[in-house]
Structure 1
Amino acid sequence: MTIRAVVKGVGHYLPERVVPNSEFEATLDTTDEWIRTRSGIERRHFAAEGETTSDLAVKAAKAALKNAGLEADDIDAIVLATSTPDLTFPSVATMVQEKLGMTRGFGFDVQAVCAGFVYALTNANALIVSGQAKRVLVIGAETFSRIMDWTDRATCVLFGDGAGALVLEGADGAGNNADRGILSADLNSDGRYRDMLYVDGGVSTTGTSGKLRMQGNALFRQAVEKLTSTARTALKKIDLGDSDVNWIVPHQANIRIIQGTAKKMGLSMDNVIVTVQDHGNTSAASIPLALSVGAAEGRIKEGDLVLTEAIGGGLAWGAVVLRW
């Protein structure tokens, strides 16, 4: 028998404040049409004053635990992906642990920017397969509105805040690609591309959090090729191909990247979960948000083969294949 990390529950949370594209027209040389045609984004959510990344993460975690029929102390570990922590340290995961009333186990953060949730899933899977944990709460949570340069129309209109969470539980599998749970993963990074997407501040450089900077066109050219390649590598590891995928649940950065990757893989957009129009780019939160929405709407069903893939600053990119 083979141990598989199976999805037992899923949930998400979005801040109450909804920001339509039109809100930017008063302060920037932009329009709703300009934003929609270039990104597919129509609106996004921004955290309220005093509402932190850990606050969003806790609400998503509670939703996922409820969906799984579990309590906080049923969880052995929290793996949380974020690039916008409440504090430099301690980790957001330990803050979530305390706020959930979880009195056992351990938690830690993963930082791979927009690819963070793929990295977090891979780490959580390793904990379960190795026997270190039986149940792991995997969370992606971001408050990117806190690191925006509101004078830069190329970036500040793209990002939003939110959180999504999965509960993974170890279960016996047959050891083949028909098993439920995480079947394979592929992770990559290349620091030579760091200037394509970064924040221009930090503890050891400026002593400030800095603002997000992005070379959008250059990043777009890298994205489709790298996302397609990592997806196919992950599928090949378990002797599956593009046509075996029921759902692509991609990082929700830009509708053109999403469409380009689906086209290159020969898959219809009918097989893609798209939430970018409602949430914007929520970085590490975007995949679990989309998974939660897809499951809640009854599209993602038990037994479906789900491909998640993402690329972000670093550059870091990767894919996880799982059977729901």
Structure 2
Amino acid sequence: MTTLRLAQGATASRILGIGSFQPERIVTNDELSQTMDTTDEWILERVGIAERRFAAKDESLVDMAVIAGANAVADAGLAPSDVDTVILANCTMPTPIPNGAAQVADRIGVKAAGAFDLNAACAGFCYALNLASDLVRAGSARRVLVIGAEKLTDWIDPVDRANAIIFADGAGAAVVGPADEPGIGPVVWGSAGDVVDLIGMRDGVIYQEGQSVFRWATTQIAPIALRALAVAGIEPSDVDVLIPHQANLRIVESIAKKLRAKGAREDMVVADDIVYSGNTSSASIPMAMDHMRAAGLVKPGDVALLVGFGAGLSYAGQVVICP
């Protein structure tokens, strides 16, 4: 009988570095009110967004992913040649073939990389982060570059006040590598396919049933976050930073309130990157973490709870130690 040799992986994994990128163009609520029936006050009250970033017409999802990914590699103190796998989480590539990850890897300088795209919409970064962690621990990869990048403005009706006020463009990234002590906890993930029609594409543009999605997120996501803490052996009071997908400020605040009711500290820092970045789908969690670190709100060693949720309806959450 032939016995196959198995790869030997790391004891644990951790995030080695992070990076992000946003386009230059800032779009305010007042600017949007010039093309649709809305106001700054209405948008702030409904979703909590003051401004967002829109990419230029010739600025692609891949372009943004390259910059965010290169920033993460540099932040980790690595050279591109130190990375062997690239995962690009997104749901807005203009075509399904070729995938974006191989293009990103080549442009960053990660040659002959294992490279693939992953589509779990707004939960994509958390899905990809767990997959990267498992690859490192299984010995299938040594260091994995995980990128969430979206150009949502390619897929929205610019005069649809229900969606054009929410979505934006950008990219965030993290490098995952081996560790002696766990820096990425087990994932809690799943899907609610029975309500898949709440978010999707229709006639080439994104639509969502806003009130139904809001009710689903505000009732279902906090329990998922608590399960992610439980499987990681972490109490709510241990969490220093909560970084949920930046879908809607009211949803973010609802999740934080429910976690505090279960023992999370009042001084737990809560990401509110949506106020100035909008909803960037799979990019929102890593981008928020990078922005919070730059602002001094997140420091190395902090215990962070990540939870992504969106179209599918897919969700995923895990505890990480901030780099």
Q: Which moved more, 1:184-193 or 1:135-144?
A: 184-193
Give the distance between the partners of 2:94 and 2:115, measured in 1 at CA: 15
Amino acid at match of 2:180: D
What is the DSSP-based 3-state SS (H/G/I as helix, E as strand, rest coil) of the residue aligned with 2:185?
strand
Q: Does 1:244 align with 2:242?
A: no
1:323 is displaced (CA, Å) by 1.6
1:115 and 2:123 aligned: yes
Contact residue 14 and residue 133 of structure 2 kept, 8 A: no
Aligned partner of 1:207 in structure 2 is none
Could you tell me which amino acid in structure 1 is paired with residue 23 of structure 2?
P
Q: Which moved more, 1:294-303 or 1:45-54?
A: 294-303
Deviation (angstroms), 1:25: 1.0
CA RMSD, Structure 1 to Structure 2 (Å): 1.4
2:68 to 43, 47, 60: 60
Structure 1 SS opposite 2:33: helix
> 2:240 and 2:38 mapped to 1: Cα distance?
37
- TM-aligned CA deviation for residue 184 of structure 1: 1.8
2:277 maps to which of 276, 279, 294: 279
CA contact (8 A) 2:242 2:268 kept: no
Count of aligned pairs: 310
Is residue 187 of structure 2 the alignment partner of residue 185 of structure 1? Answer: yes
Q: Which residue of 2 aligns with 1:311?
A: 309
How far 1:298 sits from its partner (Å)? 2.5
1:28 partner amino acid: M
| Partners of 2:87 and 2:115 within 8 A in 1 | yes
Q: Tell me, in whole angstroms, the C-alpha distance in 2 between the residues paired with 1:69 and 1:297.
A: 21
Q: State the 1:96 CA deviation.
A: 0.1
Note the C-alpha offset of 1:200: 1.7
Q: 4+ residue stretches of structure 1 with deviation over 6 A?
A: none
2:196 is matched by which residue type in structure 1?
R
Contact 1:4 1:183 in 2 (8 A): no
TM-score by length of 2: 0.93
Task: Report deviation, 1:311.
Answer: 1.0
Q: Is residue 126–residue 306 contact of structure 2 (8 Å, CA) maintained in 1?
A: yes
Q: Which runs of 5+ in 2 are unaligned?
A: 1-8
Checking the alignment, whether the CA contact within 8 Å between 2:10 and 2:139 is kept in structure 1 is no
Q: Distance in 1 between matches of 2:119 and 2:155?
A: 15
Per the alignment, in what secondary structure is the counterpart of residue 300 of structure 2? coil
Partner of 1:3: 11
Q: Distance in 1 between matches of 2:279 and 2:232?
A: 30
Say whether the 8 Å CA contact 1:227–1:318 is kept in structure 2: no
The residue that corresponds to 2:227 in the other structure is 233
- Judge conservation of contact 1:191–1:315 (CA < 8 Å) in 2: yes
| TM-score, length of structure 1 as denominator length | 0.92
Contact 2:187 2:316 in 1 (8 A): yes
The Cα of 1:87 is off from its aligned counterpart by 2.5
Q: Tell me what 2:291 maps to.
A: 293
| Alpha-carbon separation, structure 1, partners of 2:65 and 2:94 | 11
Gaps of 5+ in 1: 174-178, 202-209
User: In structure 2, do the counterparts of structure 1 residues 24 and 269 end up closer, same or farther at CA, with 3 Å as the change threshold?
Assistant: farther
